[in-house]
Amino acid sequence: MKLLMSYVFALLPFFIFSQIKEKGEVQRLQKTSYLVKLVTYEELANEYFSKTGKGDSVIYYGDKIVALSKKMDNEAHEVKGLSLLGKGYAANRELEKAEISLKRGVMLAFKNKSISSLAEVNNRLAGVYQNMDKMPLSIEHNLEAIKYAQQSENYKVEALSYYGISIIYSLQDQKGKQLNYLSKAIKLCDEKEKLPPLIKCLVYGSASQQYSAIADEFKEEIYKDSSLIYAKKSLEVSRENELKQRIPADLVVLGYYYVNNGGVDEGQKYLEEALSYVKYARGATQLNIYQILTHIHKGKDEKANSYKYLDSLNELSIKKRPQYGAMISKLSHSVYKYFNDYDLAFKSLDEYFEFEKEKKQIEQNKTINELETRYQTELKDAKIERLTFYLIASLVVLLATFLLFYVFRLRKSKEKNKALRGAISQQLALEKELVNVRNNIAQDFHDDLGNKLARISFLTHLVEDELSDGDVKLKAKVTQVKEDTISLYVGTKDFIFSLKPNSDYLEEVVTYLSDFGEDYFSDTKIQFVIDKNINLNKKLPHYWSKQLIFIFKEAMTNAFKHANCNKLILHFKQKEDVLVISCIDNGKGVSEEEMSSKNGLSNMKKRAKKINGDLDVVTSREGTVIRFTGSLTN
Say whether both 475 and 568 belong to one domain. no
Ranked by mean pLDDT, which of 324-338, 349-363, 394-408, 425-439 comes out on top?
324-338
Say whether both 379 and 482 belong to one domain. yes
Contact 268, 296 (CB under 8 A): yes
pLDDT value for 311: 92
Tell me, yes or no, whether 170 lies in a domain.
Answer: no
What's the CATH code of the domain at 607?
Answer: 3.30.565.10
Tell me, yes or no, whether 453 lies in a domain.
Answer: yes
Evaluate if residue 479 carries a pLDDT over 90.
no
State the average pLDDT over residues 516-527: 91
Tell me, yes or no, whether 579 lies in a domain.
Answer: yes
CA dist 3 and 5 (Å) reads 5
- Of 499, 518, 550, which closes a domain? 499
Q: In 10 A of CB 433, how many CB atoms?
A: 10
Say whether both 474 and 513 belong to one domain. no
Tell me, yes or no, whether 616 lies in a domain.
Answer: yes
Tell me, yes or no, whether 400 lies in a domain.
Answer: yes
Residue 413 binned pLDDT confidence (cut-offs 50, 70, 90): confident
End-to-end CA distance of the chain: 83
Say whether both 471 and 573 belong to one domain. no
Say whether both 520 and 617 belong to one domain. yes
Contact 224, 211 (CB under 8 A): yes
Tell me, yes or no, whether 624 lies in a domain.
Answer: yes
**Summary mean pLDDT of the chain:** 81
Tell me, yes or no, whether 394 lies in a domain.
Answer: yes
State the average pLDDT over residues 85-103: 89
Residue 22 binned pLDDT confidence (cut-offs 50, 70, 90): very low
pTM: 0.52
Evaluate if residue 75 carries a pLDDT over 60.
yes
Evaluate if residue 8 carries a pLDDT over 70.
no
499 closest CA partner among 435, 428, 553: 435
Contact 189, 195 (CB under 8 A): yes
Evaluate if residue 505 carries a pLDDT over 80.
yes
pLDDT value for 582: 96
Evaluate if residue 3 carries a pLDDT over 50.
no
Residue 419 binned pLDDT confidence (cut-offs 50, 70, 90): confident
Within 8 A by CB and 6+ apart from 531, the residues are 569, 570, 571, 572
Task: Print the domain residue range for 513.
Answer: 505-631
Say whether both 458 and 484 belong to one domain. yes
Summarize pLDDT for 165-215 with one digit per residue, the tens. 999 998 888 989 998 999 999 999 999 888 988 888 889 988 888 888 888
Say whether both 416 and 457 belong to one domain. yes
Count of domains observed in the chain = 2
Query: Which one is predicted more confidently, 140 or 362?
Result: 140
Backbone angles phi, psi at 505, to 5 degrees: -100, 140
Say whether both 379 and 490 belong to one domain. yes
Evaluate if residue 397 carries a pLDDT over 70.
yes
Sign, CA torsion 439/442/446/449: positive
pLDDT value for 416: 75
Say whether both 547 and 478 belong to one domain. no
Say whether both 474 and 550 belong to one domain. no
- Of 460, 477, 499, which closes a domain? 499
Say whether both 471 and 512 belong to one domain. no
Residue 391 binned pLDDT confidence (cut-offs 50, 70, 90): confident
pLDDT value for 412: 77
- Of 499, 515, 538, which closes a domain? 499
CA dist 552 and 516 (Å) reads 10
Minimum mean pLDDT among 226-230, 359-363, 419-423: which range? Answer: 419-423
Tell me, yes or no, whether 178 lies in a domain.
Answer: no
State the average pLDDT over residues 589-613: 78
CA dist 420 and 406 (Å) reads 20
Evaluate if residue 143 carries a pLDDT over 60.
yes
Say whether both 491 and 509 belong to one domain. no
CA dist 78 and 401 (Å) reads 53
Within 8 A by CB and 6+ apart from 79, the residues are 105, 108, 109, 112, 114, 117, 121
Length of the chain: 634
Minimum mean pLDDT among 189-203, 414-428, 456-470, 500-514: which range? Answer: 456-470
pLDDT value for 26: 44
CA dist 201 and 220 (Å) reads 24
pLDDT value for 10: 44
Contact 253, 209 (CB under 8 A): yes
Residue 29 binned pLDDT confidence (cut-offs 50, 70, 90): very low
pLDDT value for 19: 46
Evaluate if residue 104 carries a pLDDT over 80.
yes
Report the percent of the chain where pLDDT is more than 90: 29
Query: Which one is predicted more confidently, 592 or 63?
Result: 63
